[in-house]
Amino acid sequence: MSQMSNSWEQVAGKWKQFSGEVKRQWGKLTDDELMQVNGSREVLAGKLQEKYGIAKEEANKQIDEWASKLKRYLEST
Residue-by-residue DSSP string for 24-69:
HHSTTS-HHHHHHHTT-HHHHHHHHHHHH---HHHHHHHHHHHHHH
As for how many domains the chain has, the answer is 1
Whether this model's pTM surpasses 0.85 = yes
CA distance 49 to 35: 17
CATH of residue 12's domain is 1.10.1470.10
One digit per residue, the tens of pLDDT, for the chain of length 77 reads: 445 567 788 888 889 888 999 999 999 999 999 999 999 999 999 999 999 999 999 999 999 999 888 888 888 87
